[in-house]
Amino acid sequence: MQEPVSGDTNVASPTLKASVVNPAANPRRMRRIIAEDPEWSLAIVPHLSELCLQHIVSNFEKNPVVDHLLPEHQRKVLDRISTGLPLTVTANLISDEGYWKRCCTERWAVCDVSRYGGSWKRMFFERHLENILKYFIPNTTDPNQVLEVIPLCKEYVRKLEIDQFLPPVKLDQNKEEDDMSDSGSDVEFDEFCMNHYDLGVLTAALSHLEELHLTYGVKDCGMNFEWSLFDFTYQDCYSLANAFKKCHTLKVFKLCRSKVDDEKTRVLIRNLLDHPCLVELDLSHNLIRDRGARAIGKLINRSKLEILNLCNNRIRAPGAQAIAHALAKNSTLTSLNLRINCIEDEGGQAIGHALLTNATLTSIHLGGNELSEPTATLFSQVLAQNTVLTSINLACNHIGLVSSFPA
């Protein structure tokens, strides 16, 4: 075996790492059979094919040859090529999961492939793109950085989970604006400074995009906290709404912790009306009030929405009534979450009445809504009549002694 020799030359090769790590090869040389190494061979001179493969591996970047090889050789080449190869070479060429698994495990410590449909390649590209977007700073980062990746990954990306969007960097005004941002009245900055990255280009290009999880905010800001870091501006909202229009395959949309208020909700909802695929909508932890709720109620009956999550918003009785009104006529929605709102008895009763006629909703969460006995009695009636409902959560309410529902 001539591994030590070749190992010295190809330091980056992961397959030969063992020999690099283990410089004491002398005892190996003494042995005739090395059972733990599957590639060990007694032959002193390597086969020509072996040498060729080695050459292919070492020059893969310049001359990628995979498809013309025999299956066993393909296997060997894919096992040996470096994970650091540029994506432009590998992205559309290599479909082997083993290679992408190596890439993923090398790059991230935690890899749960089950969340990506069991596909390592998809995981790699999705996370790669997420990474790029997470650290994209408008006006500073080169937008080509994103545009270059798009053609490589558009075939594989189905889901984007972006939990932070960085705002543009303000160099000298940072400190002065501390006070100003509190009031939230500086319009001129919003106009040209505070807009985040526009997703329109991306969603139009990604033809298989199905899920989009967004959070307009900054993670781990620590003591550099500024309110402006967490602004979801109108411009952002419009650009996002336009992005929806271009993305017809979208099924799941989540926009959490982004200070979405009524106006922005209405803008978003207007663009989501009659969307062909949208199934799940999550607008939890925002600032949606009754008007936004009314818009959402309108959306319920003008789309194929099945799951709706509005937890931790500011919806009060009128908004809840609007949603209930929509719910009474709906036949697609199966799950509704209104946790931590303030719909009170009026809204609760409206929803209860809606459930008397609705026959599709299976689970509802009304925890922390200041509900009390009238709603509870109505719900007992609903439970007697409705046969579809399987789960109700009424935690953190003032129901009194009537309660007998599972948590």
- Residues in touch with other proteins (CB under 8 A): 312, 339-340, 342, 367-368, 370, 395-396, 407
How far is Cα 258 from Cα 109, in angstroms, rounded to an integer?
28
How far is Cα 228 from Cα 169, in angstroms, rounded to an integer?
11
Task: Please report how close the Cβ of residue 287 comes to other proteins at its closest, in angstroms.
Answer: 13
Give how far Cα 269 sits from Cα of 14, 50, 242, 295, 301, Å: 50, 60, 11, 7, 12
Contacts of 331 by beta carbon, 8 Å cutoff, 6+ apart: 358, 359, 360
CB burial readout 306-342, b (16+ within 10 A) else e: bebbbbbbbbbbbbbbbbbbbbbebeebbbbbbbbbb
How far is Cα 222 from Cα 219, in angstroms, rounded to an integer?
8
Contact predicate 312/338, CB 8 Å? no
Task: Please report how close the Cβ of residue 230 comes to other proteins at its closest, in angstroms.
Answer: 15
How far is Cα 148 from Cα 99, in angstroms, rounded to an integer?
22
Of 292 and 368, the one with the shorter C-beta distance to other proteins is 368
Of 332 and 390, the one with the shorter C-beta distance to other proteins is 390
Task: Please report how close the Cβ of residue 313 comes to other proteins at its closest, in angstroms.
Answer: 11
Contact predicate 333/351, CB 8 Å? no
Task: Please report how close the Cβ of residue 350 comes to other proteins at its closest, in angstroms.
Answer: 20
How far is Cα 347 from Cα 319, in angstroms, rounded to an integer?
8
Pair of tokens at residue 265: 């909700």
Of 292 and 367, the one with the shorter C-beta distance to other proteins is 367
Contact predicate 188/164, CB 8 Å? no
How far is Cα 287 from Cα 308, in angstroms, rounded to an integer?
16
Of 211 and 261, the one with the shorter C-beta distance to other proteins is 261
Of 266 and 285, the one with the shorter C-beta distance to other proteins is 285
Of 1 and 366, the one with the shorter C-beta distance to other proteins is 366
Task: Please report how close the Cβ of residue 367 comes to other proteins at its closest, in angstroms.
Answer: 6
Of 90 and 341, the one with the shorter C-beta distance to other proteins is 341
Of 228 and 313, the one with the shorter C-beta distance to other proteins is 313
Task: Please report how close the Cβ of residue 259 comes to other proteins at its closest, in angstroms.
Answer: 17
Q: Per DSSP, which regions of 330-385 are E strands?
A: 335-337, 363-365
How far is Cα 345 from Cα 152, in angstroms, rounded to an integer?
53
How far is Cα 381 from Cα 375, in angstroms, rounded to an integer?
10
Task: Please report how close the Cβ of residue 370 comes to other proteins at its closest, in angstroms.
Answer: 7
Task: Please report how close the Cβ of residue 395 comes to other proteins at its closest, in angstroms.
Answer: 5
* CA angle 293–287–362, rounded 5-degree value: 45
Task: Please report how close the Cβ of residue 257 comes to other proteins at its closest, in angstroms.
Answer: 14
Of 173 and 391, the one with the shorter C-beta distance to other proteins is 391
Task: Please report how close the Cβ of residue 397 comes to other proteins at its closest, in angstroms.
Answer: 9
Of 93 and 396, the one with the shorter C-beta distance to other proteins is 396
**Residue type at position 67:** D
